[in-house]
Amino acid sequence: MNWSKTVTLVEAHAEGEVGRIVTGGVITVPGATIADKIKHLNEVDDSLRRFLVFEPRASAQMSTCLIFPPTRPDADIGFIILQGDKAHAMSGSNSICLTTVLLETGMLPMVEPETIVRIETASGLVTARATCRNGKCERVELTMNPSYAHLLDAVVEVEGYGKVKLDIAYGGIFYALIDPAQLGLEIRPDQAKKLVEAGSAIHRAVNAQLDIAHPEIDVIKGISYTMFNSFNAAGELKGATIMPPGRIDRSPCGTGNSARLAVAAARGLAKPGDRFTARSIIDSTFEVTYASDTTVAGRPAVQPIISGRGWIHGIHQIGVDPSDPYQLGYSVADTWGDAFDLMN
């Protein structure tokens, strides 16, 4: 074996969504801040993301996360999420995976019954409170980024679907939030392909027709994902986040439900102290709490808290032979989805 690069990852999932944490082999990414590092990955050199995310060393249904020493004094760890399209600023499910991995592997000290981990993201500081017992991280509660409704009841013209009504909201990244009923769809595993096709088409339309940017964070602009929102028979939140180039988040989605909470607050459908159960397409759950009111650049906003569980399920070492023609990997539409135009 003659590898020119070796990377070690600890693999975990948060309520079904796989997040691999790189624990060795990546020395640094240029940039003075986490936002600078994301900009480098997305605009200057994408080779590390491609190596870590694409086949044959990974697969469509997972994220791979980079960790760094923090660049701000009030944080314990710096964090970037790599996915099929680009590097992203924030993810709730991956933050749960990160916290679980850091504590259960001893990378950060575990304190029972509760350990606090302060995570530096490009969208701001996220505080994780981990409930710990007998060396196990049993549950992680995330104080998310302040979240706000950007546009309510926007209408876009979507090729193949006509006019579609949606909301645009920020939950650490931007989402287009859509009721699937207007398209004759339901959030069920057997409709996953139809949801992906519709969500990708809507994503294209939003990119072309709406101007979306965070008022204070330059690196966050445009929607990251579309998310279909509905309710189950018990009145619980049901959601399916569509991730380019064409897959569904297996978890209920932390940033997506933060955005959804902001829209509910803007419509007067949620108030501080309210708590909701959110379910994914595979019926896994997060708890979503409206902790308090706040503001983002003078806009009314909410402070969400997302709670869920994570489990470590593997340790993985990957590398590359210098003669390998696929050192930066590949993606094929049979499993990755065919919305390659939405990739960075």
What angle, 0 to 180 degrees and rounded to 10, lies between the N-to-C axes of helices 254-266 and 92-104?
140
Q: Which of 63, 65, 91, 97 is catalytic?
A: 91
Q: Which of 65, 97, 132, 253 is catalytic?
A: 253
- DSSP string across 106-171: TSS---SSEEEEEEEETTEEEEEEEEEETTEEEEEEEE---BEEEEEEEEEEETTTEEEEEEEEES
Q: Is 224 a catalytic residue?
A: no
**How far is 133 from 226, CA to CA, in rounded Å?**
37
Backbone angles phi, psi at 263, to 5 degrees: -65, -45
**How far is 301 from 221, CA to CA, in rounded Å?**
18
Residues 224 and 111: beta-carbon distance below 8 Å: no
User: Which run of H or E residues covers position 87?
Assistant: strand 87-88
Q: Is 65 a catalytic residue?
A: no
| Nearby residues of 32 by Cβ (< 8 Å), 6 or more positions away | 71
Tell me how many degrees the CA angle 172-173-178 measures, rounded to the nearest 5: 115
Give Dmax (Cα) for the chain.
61
Q: Which has the closest alpha carbon to 303: 316, 289, 319, 314?
A: 289
* Positive or negative torsion for Cα 197, 201, 202, 207: positive
Catalytic annotation, residues: 91, 253
